[in-house]
Amino acid sequence: MNLKVLLNNKWIALLLLAITFSLIYNTFTKFPYTFCVIIAVILLFTYLQDGNLKNLNFKKIGSSEIKIILISYLALEISMDFIFQPLVSKIFNEPADYSSFKIIEGNPQKYFKWLFNMWISAAIGEELLFRGFAFSQLTKWFGEKKIWLVLLSAVMFSLPHLYQGISGLVMTFLFGLVFGFIYLKFKNIWINIIVHGLIDTVFLTLSYYGLTDFYSGFNIIL
């Protein structure tokens, strides 16, 4: 059997996705190298399946894409920070647990190191895994039932964030839904990568200044 045909079988596609996702929990690499490995595996699997990387949707960024990025970023940042984050904190009676980011507070060396690592792991790595690669593999199962691609990729995206508590898990799932719809709409992985990176840059900057309480402060108003 032709290798491309075999690798594009829906069961094999699901297995490839499961293998790639499981690398998050491997004990041989640490942050940010884990996602460097995952990125390499995604590129390899995609190339073996298709003979190219087109299904990952690395498309050009022009003026129209920049407008989409800015609008998507601002809409997402404002709605999540001022509406959904405080609402989720109130519903579950707890803010998301961001205590693990205290290590960079007031430490510029760690801040810039984490910022660089974040763009590699979270922005590029997570978007390639949970949007680009997950969508291409899950499409082999669900075809035109796009809602399943968005839902399942959001669930996968949220699971590695269990350390942030229930509120953090829910918030990550909501972010995953929005990132999924953005990818579904524009089919350009760079848009997702840049929007994701901008959001996490703001978060790390607030962490550096010790202002992560910002994300739960509006809960007092509610």
Q: What is the mean pLDDT of residues 105-111?
A: 94
Chain position carrying tokens 């739960």: 216
N-to-C CA span, the chain: 60
Give 130-163 pLDDT, tens digit per residue.
999 999 999 999 987 899 999 999 999 999 988 8
Check whether 121 has a pLDDT greater than 80. Answer: yes
Q: What is the pLDDT of residue 220?
A: 43
- The Cα 40–Cα 169 span in angstroms is 27
**Angstrom distances, CA of residue 221 to CA of 80, 82, 86, 95, 218:** 15, 11, 9, 14, 5
Length of the chain: 222
Higher pLDDT, 217 or 23: 23
Tell me if 150 sits within 8 A of 181, measured CB to CB: yes
Torsion of CA 104, 106, 107, 108, to 10 degrees: 110
- The alpha carbon of 113 is separated from its chain's Cα centroid by a whole number of angstroms, namely 19
Check whether 98 has a pLDDT greater than 70. Answer: yes
Other CB atoms within a 10 A radius of the CB of residue 77 amount to 15
Q: What is the mean pLDDT of residues 48-66?
A: 96
- The Cα 208–Cα 6 span in angstroms is 48
Tell me if 86 sits within 8 A of 219, measured CB to CB: yes
Contacts with 74 (C-beta within 8 Å, 6 or more apart), sequence order: none
**Joined tokens for residue 142:** 């669900």
What are the sequence ranges of the domains in the chain?
3-217
Q: What is the pLDDT of residue 197?
A: 97
Torsion of CA 115, 129, 33, 18, to 10 degrees: 150
Q: What is the mean pLDDT of residues 115-128?
A: 96
Give 63-90 pLDDT, tens digit per residue.
999 999 999 999 999 999 888 988 888 8
Check whether 129 has a pLDDT greater than 60. Answer: yes
> 26-58 burial, b for 16+ CB within 10 Å, e for fewer?
eeeeeebebbbbbbebbeebbeebeeeeebbbe
Chain position carrying tokens 């792991």: 121
Name the pTM for this structure: 0.92
- The Cα 49–Cα 214 span in angstroms is 44
